[in-house]
Chain A
Amino acid sequence: MQNTGKEWDPKILAFLCNWCSYAGADLAGISRMQYPPNVRVVRVPCSGRVNPYFIIKALQRGWDGVLVSGCHPGDCHYISGNLVARRRFTVLKDLLEYLGIEPGRVNFSWVSAAEGEKFAKVVTDVVKGVKALGPANRLVKR
């Protein structure tokens, strides 16, 4: 995550579940909605696939922010993947913030396949929040 001399622009890693959030992001694109280009997407089958290691590794590798997005509870393609994930994320987020990782670096959302506008809004909010925090430097391994 090198600063090439230009003003720093945050890089956000987003894990989007294939059935809902990824489709929602796709809809945002097709609808030509404008949102900040700072997000790099990793498609996962379900938000439940997201291992806390992924989030922690991202922070270690210098990603300025992480977003995990899945189906709304009750709508998971695999019935309960997002419900399992929800508890995991609750504990992980509380723990990381307790340790001193700034609130706003690690974000979670429920975005359905029809919510292109919501996706754009979530990304805008996340990028705004991370921009205010500055480049990630807490868990980064040099």
Chain B
Amino acid sequence: MGNIENSIREVAEKLLSEKKVDLIIGYEQGTLPLRTTPCFVDKAEDVKKLVWNPSCDANLSKYVLGRKGKVGVVAKGCDARLIAVCAIENQFPRENVVIIGIPCLGVIDRKKLEAKLGDKEILEAMVEDEQIKVKGERFELALPKKDFLCDSCLTCKHRNPPIYDVFVGEKVPENTEANEFAEVSDLEAKSPEERWKHFKEELSKCIRCYACRNVCPLCYCKMCFVDQTMPAWFGKTNDLSDTMIYHIVRTFHVAGRCVDCGACSRACPMDINLRELMKKTEKIMKERYGYEAGVSLEKVPPLGEFKMDDPQEFIK
């Protein structure tokens, strides 16, 4: 970890002082234990703020959108893939972004930790090798890191960014074994009634804060469908029907573009498992069209093209 952190700083300093970029977007230490926060460095001497650790969970590709000038971005596998998707969709010229690719073995899911600790608050924490050491008022625990990684990381097949300009550190072995669609398959095996009950329960917690939308780099529309008036397609109250539709439509909008970075689920203050929905679209794209988002700069997302022999078994 320490090595990668130093290398990131070196790379950032080099890019800034050689004027290859105007800005570096990375992570810096947060104000709470096990938190980092996005960091915008435009002076070479400030690169010492940059950190790298398993709390670097924010999706920094979001901050590339809408920027003028050249930017260098510290990117995990998922982040780099999203930069690729946005580049294919012409949101910015690919040459304006220097992807600083970082091999990532997973980020910590604070919600899993909170579930384990209940009302106990973590006051100090440290990640050492494969352990998360937490300390609070009258407790001290060493927990195995692998039990508290984000679900999206447990089945990640792109620990090494597939697209990058600079690669920092050594490539790590990819997880080729994991069945990334196990959760989805489990749900598919249930009856429609059971699935409906499940999603109704999950989505009824939604408070329409739109954190899921705002944290997602793919949600870059100047006017989101939910804010549209004339016509107002769907309501903005937290009525269950409107809320479920908001999530259905947002899922449909990211279909074929989503890489399961997990940022939406992490951001949700009501702990809704949004990944369950998003992951299904990934499965549809893989099975129906053999497509994986963000691994190539040439292939267009499935909903952006068509073939004469597309599957149509359901069409009468």
Contact (Cβ within 8 A) B306 A95: no
A89 to B284, CA, bound (A): 12
4 further A-B contacts with Cβ under 8 Å, apart from A56-B248, A93-B314, A94-B284, are: A60-B241, A91-B252, A98-B195, A141-B235
Query: What does the 1/0 interface line of B233-251 toward A look like (CB < 8 Å)?
Result: 1110001011011001101
A109 to B306, CA, bound (A): 18
A84 to B312, CA, bound (A): 12
Interface size class of A (residues with CB under 8 A): 35 or more
Contact (Cβ within 8 A) B315 A108: yes
CB A94 to nearest CB in B, in angstroms, measures: 5
Contact (Cβ within 8 A) B245 A139: yes
Please name all residues of chain A whose beta carbon is closer than 8 Å to the beta carbon of B284 when the two chains form the complex: 90-91, 94-95
Closest to B253 in A: A52
Contact (Cβ within 8 A) B306 A84: yes
In the assembled complex, 13 residue pairs joining A and B whose CB atoms fall closer than 8 Å, in A order, are A53-B233, A83-B308, A91-B252, A91-B256, A93-B314, A95-B255, A97-B192, A98-B277, A100-B195, A100-B196, A100-B200, A102-B192, A110-B316
Say whether B199 faces chain A, with CB atoms less than 8 Å apart.
yes
Contact (Cβ within 8 A) B303 A88: yes
Contact (Cβ within 8 A) A87 B310: yes
Please name all residues of chain B whose beta carbon is closer than 8 Å to the beta carbon of A90 when the two chains form the complex: 284, 288, 310-312, 314
Contact (Cβ within 8 A) A86 B312: yes
A139 to B199, CA, bound (A): 12
Q: A98-B187, A99-B196 are in contact. Are A86 and B302 (CB under 8 A)?
A: no
A6 to B92, CA, bound (A): 59
Say whether B197 faces chain A, with CB atoms less than 8 Å apart.
yes
Interchain CB contact (< 8 A) of A56 among B197, B239, B249: B249
Q: A95-B255, A122-B316, A125-B316 are in contact. Are A80 and B306 (CB under 8 A)?
A: yes
5 smallest CB-CB distances across A and B, nearest first, come from A100-B196, A109-B316, A141-B241, A100-B195, A83-B306
Q: Which of B265-294 contact A (CB under 8 A)?
A: 277, 280-281, 284-285, 288-289
Contact (Cβ within 8 A) B234 A60: yes
Q: Which of B296-316 contact A (CB under 8 A)?
A: 302-303, 306-308, 310-312, 314-316
Q: A95-B280, A95-B284 are in contact. Are A86 and B249 (CB under 8 A)?
A: no
Say whether B193 faces chain A, with CB atoms less than 8 Å apart.
yes
Q: A90-B314, A95-B251 are in contact. Are A103 and B233 (CB under 8 A)?
A: no
Q: A88-B303, A91-B255, A101-B196 are in contact. Are A52 and B249 (CB under 8 A)?
A: yes
A interface: dominant SS: helix
Q: A95-B255, A95-B284, A102-B192 are in contact. Are A139 and B241 (CB under 8 A)?
A: yes
Say whether B188 faces chain A, with CB atoms less than 8 Å apart.
yes
CB A38 to nearest CB in B, in angstroms, measures: 16
Question: Which residues does A use to contact B, with CB under 8 Å?
Answer: 52-53, 56-57, 60, 73-74, 80, 83-84, 86-103, 107-110, 122, 125, 138-142
Closest to B225 in A: A53
CB B315 to nearest CB in A, in angstroms, measures: 5
A139 to B277, CA, bound (A): 16
Q: A74-B308, A86-B310, A91-B284 are in contact. Are A99 and B316 (CB under 8 A)?
A: no
Contact (Cβ within 8 A) A141 B239: yes
A80 to B184, CA, bound (A): 32
Contact (Cβ within 8 A) A98 B188: yes
Contact (Cβ within 8 A) A87 B303: yes
Closest to A80 in B: B306
A125 to B314, CA, bound (A): 13
Interchain CB contact (< 8 A) of A140 among B241, B280, B314: B241
A43 to B307, CA, bound (A): 26
CB B232 to nearest CB in A, in angstroms, measures: 11
